Structure 1
């Protein structure tokens, strides 16, 4: 990503005219070694296609796509012209930002500049600046953004009182991540203020991280038609105050329009539209951006030109995020929306010819606004099969009373009837010439599916299943889904294809959300989508039995596992997947025995036959004999007794029979789970995934926000228990919206972990300062993820060294995660500089074996007990012992029943596991002799495959 740095700023330049300035810009890039001299001519070619002037005295000249072969290194130069110069389009320029980009990095710079294009005083400040830092500060000033979107609005809720509505609206702001629990308490302690016309307002600033407006309207109007809850920043500057005033002006605009009494009749989308200034008589058009890089300069300019050609004003806003509706005829306003591919734009116009004008706008956006665009493709692996003329044929089912070995994914044993989840075949045409009939078919299918859900809810008679089905029922009532499907149908899609396109686009958008609960809605959306698709295609969805069963499926996602009724699902068996897949991890957290990667033959099992599932050994036995069933029942009883004993002794230390102490900690994805981990016997937090706090906020959380979160974990741990925190591990396959990273062919090998953090040193510095502040002298262990060698460690340590000097009396150790094979191979060079190593076996395994742990066919082979992985662990332990370091294991291998003895035998000092597994892991360690398992582990290193290792371990147990 391009960064603005002082050495790239050239102050006090002068030029005869814009041509001379453009020549100077090209020469600056050449002198910096960024481009060949021929690149300079391409700057003129680009200007001939359209001005690169943005606004506020800024132009960003860059080359044409054809000139990218002249780029040596991506970079930029900033040329300041204090006296200004006239650009070829008549605008006055005081700063040129000239860019050498091998790909489309200039688009990121453009997006980051949009917030200053209309800011007062920027042009003057850029011209008057006498040092590089002032220019960078002007360009880098982060905008204050408000939230007002579907996440903060609750329409037609079954609450009558204004106090109840205020509580609902405040809760929506809390769930949207813009305010903490203190905010809800502050709002509940106030009396709503009447604005007139049954509108009420409550304001608060406690625990607020972003200005926002929460709205709640009642299902039946009593003394309130709507209650607004305004969240203000506690220490707002002028810019934040302006944003907050903008939110209030939206409310007052509704009041002045005279539409206040009718707000309770509107759905969520209509309500947001009114607050955005769209009147009841306005024509509204929703259309998705299809451009690969969103509405950057070229497509935005074309959109503006088309809007200006219409006979009446057109406004546009983003459907998500809370952006104001802006004039579609303003280039800076349109660019400032920052619309990305796949996001929904909402255009509105009022008056005679509004529908025609919006149709022209919609056609232009769909066609790409002058750029070649691809359809919003269906990339979901959950897309239903379709258009198959022959039913799928699976391999023959495993023989009766014969053990089938697969991958142990979640410990436990059970005996229950089998239920095989086989999705039906959906055969349908992709296109249709009769959009009217297709819309009618879709509406009929939605009504039928809704009626089916209503019957199921009544039959469920309360409980979790009824709650889930009720949520599905609400999804079917969401007008956005239908409108998106209708849009596709109007473009020629069949009802089936249009509906699934709408479902898939919405599901992918949900899956990308930082909030885990909201992201898991993606699986629910696809369930709802398949239910309607079944009505359209005339096929029904399989329903699970109402008695205990073992679920057999081709594969199952994390959200699906989270929704399993643990009172009925006694085990999980999948044809695909691996022990480190997310679904397997979640199954362990729920305590459901799971075996994965068993092959497609299990999909041929007959429903209702009994099966033994052993999640500890990775084994299933269909139709067991009476003798085998009896043995399994005894094993289940013995395990239940072991679990009970382990839980009773959960607070006792894990000490081997020959008196070697192994510390057992808990892996946490959220600080709120720390208390539960302690209650289950965890002796500390062995891995705190700190990215949860970054992914839960629309912008990087500040120091105070992080301190509050981390302190929650320290207070739950109490005195003496250490907390091992992994610094921010995002990027690549786990992007943050506010840290856009160019698409990468191999995201697991890309800009992620410590690599990304070192590109944002101020963020890493703030995070370490927050962790040390929150620790208040309690034991803190900080580790850097994805470190490949000692040079990367020293770069991060230099930041730590600066921060730690600010504190007295700290108890902090610094370490690295061993996830990259080079880190293990070079452990000897790292050990003199670190306090500890923590081995992340999930990533270490996939990098060592070159197998993506989420690969649908290969993930079962990504086994951490592979001898190559074990050798890397031993190398790490040996290097640590030579230099007085300790070694922990925080990957899923640490809770693998067959691996615990191996890891202890290799000499690790600490295991960090899912909190639910802490008592059992401790109990297993107490049964081991460190001397004996060390001898066994050494012998395992000579084996050739993971399967041989597991066979050897099982033979010894």
Structure 2
């Protein structure tokens, strides 16, 4: 029996066999070939097989996760459909008598290097590696076993999961995910959380210590992972698993039922989405609004910049599906752990602190104006609010609003119908949170992005497992800053929303409700539980709870212990 403690990233308990994502030795000898024709046929067969695999994965991903995740595989297929690259491989084999393996690696590496030298990045290191590895695996007879092709349920064990690997996981066959590295708010974890399965990250050395087939217990609520458990541990956790599933079943209520707090105080419960296809899931889970449409995924999945028409269709699709329900669409928040592939933006040494979000949009105003025009055109089809990310200064905000007004005037002069819309901003940079009272007169609402706000305030990378203990979303300092933003909004009669992961945290929801947060936006799968929890809350008692939390001086453990004790005794939050 081996026990590991990692970072709890998605609740639940899973019991099952381990499946380590395969690693293959794709090295080969550089040798001269005799039969050029046979080698070219080997190349063509491997390329075609790889394309067919990627197309199959794309279709599965489209069905299970949506079109924005599926788009990355469409892009990989386009690389293997680039006839110029294939011709270069064939020429190498013909003229230099190299193997197909050598031709593939030489051409793809040279192609990638040319793009880098030209300060353009139409394909990332990760994507070129994925294409190269897939073709080589066919040439060397080491075809990878796709996670999508599992014939039995298993717990996926990996050192790290990239977004590409994550998108390949078939939810019905994956019982849980454990990784050595990563944080609770990394892009891969947020994608994985859509599977509604236990996830534990930051285990550091579990991948090397776990073997395929090892029986495992994964507790996504505590971060505990047990390998080769004893009979007693199995029995205990089977019982815990049943209790958790029964509790989860009790959380689910009929869709469309309005939830109010014990003293009839209503809360807006909204969904975070990445794609128009996600709206159906949001509505099915009872979302009263879209609190965050992450438009950057229109850029991340494409190999060229999305046109005004393409963006307009996407925004219109979301608005028409939501009808009279509000929709907040965020302008592209590219940067940090969301690196685009179109080649329009340069790489940076420190992307989290560099040109990202609104900074990047204002630097590339022609691209920004295209998005603004598409949003303005779509505003005629629903209740649209536009939100700017990564705002740092009042000047930035005012320039962005001026550009929006300029494009509005142009469209109106062209006879284009534009609906009434609101303009808001993300609060994720500490200086903005501190100076919120200086920004509120320029916006219709604010939305707290607690993922970035936490990492910036505590100087702890949210995706780095080595400082995971310092990344504390429930730190008293975070709540104190959040409350100051909410108070500033209410002092100027505008609403304060939250679209970070903290909005779905069961421990944080009572505190945030006590602070007067007007709207909680979260993963659609979390809405049902949040509705039930808020239904039980008594606002007056929650205000007392929140006021005590913001006076604390220690770390988040003090907050967690205090709220657990308060809710266990029932005197602070529940009716």
Same fold (TM over 0.5): yes
Question: 2:320 aligned with 1:715, yes or no?
Answer: yes
Distance 1:557 1:895 in 2: 24
Which ranges in structure 1 are unaligned for 5 or more consecutive residues?
A: 1-398
Distance 1:785 1:489, change over 3 A: farther
Q: CA shift at 1:822, angstroms?
A: 1.2
Q: CA shift at 1:715, angstroms?
A: 1.3
TM-score, normalised to structure 1's length? 0.48
Residue aligning to 2:483: 874
TM-score, normalised to structure 2's length? 0.76
Give matches, 1:593-742, under 5 Å: 593-693=198-298, 696=302, 698=304, 701-702=307-308, 706-719=311-324, 721-730=325-334, 740-742=344-346
Q: CA shift at 1:554, angstroms?
A: 0.6
Distance 2:456 2:475 in 1: 12
Distance 2:210 2:169 in 1: 20
Distance 1:600 1:693, change over 3 A: closer
Q: CA shift at 1:578, angstroms?
A: 0.9
Q: CA shift at 1:791, angstroms?
A: 2.3
Q: CA shift at 1:674, angstroms?
A: 2.2
Q: Report Cα offsets for 1:630-650 as digits up to 9, x if no partner.
A: 443344334434444444333
Distance 2:450 2:185 in 1: 9
Distance 2:204 2:104 in 1: 32
Residue aligning to 1:568: 173
**Count of equivalent residues:** 538
Question: 2:23 aligned with 1:418, yes or no?
Answer: no
Residue aligning to 1:798: 402
Question: 2:385 aligned with 1:781, yes or no?
Answer: yes
Q: CA shift at 1:795, angstroms?
A: 2.2
Whether the 8 Å CA contact 2:429–2:456 is kept in 1: the answer is: yes
Farther-moved stretch of structure 1 (671-680 vs 482-491) = 482-491
Whether the 8 Å CA contact 2:486–2:517 is kept in 1: the answer is: yes
Q: Report Cα offsets for 1:417-463 as digits up to 9, x if no partner.
A: 2223362556667xx5x44479899879879989999xx9xxx9xx9
Distance 1:478 1:756, change over 3 A: closer
Which ranges in structure 2 are unaligned for 5 or more consecutive residues?
A: 64-69, 569-575
Q: CA shift at 1:724, angstroms?
A: 0.7
Question: 2:137 aligned with 1:531, yes or no?
Answer: yes
Distance 1:742 1:706, change over 3 A: closer
Distance 2:470 2:343 in 1: 33
Distance 2:480 2:515 in 1: 9
Q: CA shift at 1:531, angstroms?
A: 2.3
SS at match of 1:578: coil
Distance 2:6 2:377 in 1: 47
SS at match of 1:832: helix
Question: 2:529 aligned with 1:920, yes or no?
Answer: yes
Whether the 8 Å CA contact 2:330–2:388 is kept in 1: the answer is: yes
Whether the 8 Å CA contact 1:439–1:495 is kept in 2: the answer is: no
Instruction: Say which structure, 1 or 2, has more relative contact order (CA 8 Å, 6+ apart).
Output: 2
SS at match of 2:176: strand
Q: CA shift at 1:666, angstroms?
A: 1.2
Question: 2:353 aligned with 1:749, yes or no?
Answer: yes
Q: CA shift at 1:830, angstroms?
A: 1.3
Whether the 8 Å CA contact 1:513–1:519 is kept in 2: the answer is: no
Whether the 8 Å CA contact 1:782–1:814 is kept in 2: the answer is: yes
Q: CA shift at 1:952, angstroms?
A: 5.6
Q: Report Cα offsets for 1:918-946 as digits up to 9, x if no partner.
A: 22332333344444555445555535445
Whether the 8 Å CA contact 2:380–2:419 is kept in 1: the answer is: yes
Q: Report Cα offsets for 1:670-725 as digits up to 9, x if no partner.
A: 234323322221111101223445665845633x5544432222211112x11111
Q: CA shift at 1:735, angstroms?
A: 6.8
Distance 1:907 1:425 in 2: 56
Whether the 8 Å CA contact 1:417–1:611 is kept in 2: the answer is: yes
- Structure showing greater radius of gyration is 1
Give the root-mean-square deviation of aligned CA atoms. 4.8
Give matches, 1:224-239, under 5 Å: none
Give matches, 1:320-719, under 5 Å: 399-400=1-2, 402=3, 404-421=4-21, 423-424=23-24, 432=30, 434-436=31-33, 480=85, 483-484=88-89, 487=92, 499-500=104-105, 525=131, 527-529=133-135, 531-532=137-138, 535=141, 546-693=151-298, 696=302, 698=304, 701-702=307-308, 706-719=311-324
Distance 1:801 1:546, change over 3 A: closer
Q: CA shift at 1:858, angstroms?
A: 4.7
Residue aligning to 1:771: 375
Farther-moved stretch of structure 1 (589-598 vs 651-660) = 651-660
Give matches, 1:804-843, under 5 Å: 811-843=420-452
Residue aligning to 1:45: none
Q: CA shift at 1:506, angstroms?
A: 7.6
Q: Report Cα offsets for 1:738-792 as digits up to 9, x if no partner.
A: 7844553333333332223334556555644543443338432221111112222
Distance 2:326 2:245 in 1: 31
Distance 2:80 2:401 in 1: 52
Q: CA shift at 1:901, angstroms?
A: 3.7
Question: 2:498 aligned with 1:889, yes or no?
Answer: yes
Q: CA shift at 1:888, angstroms?
A: 1.3
Farther-moved stretch of structure 1 (657-666 vs 575-584) = 657-666
SS at match of 1:776: helix
Q: CA shift at 1:839, angstroms?
A: 1.3
Distance 1:622 1:833, change over 3 A: same
Distance 2:47 2:370 in 1: 49
Give matches, 1:29-40, under 5 Å: none
Distance 1:450 1:522 in 2: 14
Residue aligning to 1:37: none
Whether the 8 Å CA contact 2:271–2:524 is kept in 1: the answer is: yes
Distance 2:523 2:473 in 1: 17
Q: Report Cα offsets for 1:389-430 as digits up to 9, x if no partner.
A: xxxxxxxxxx44x5x43222223322112223362556667x
Whether the 8 Å CA contact 1:649–1:919 is kept in 2: the answer is: no
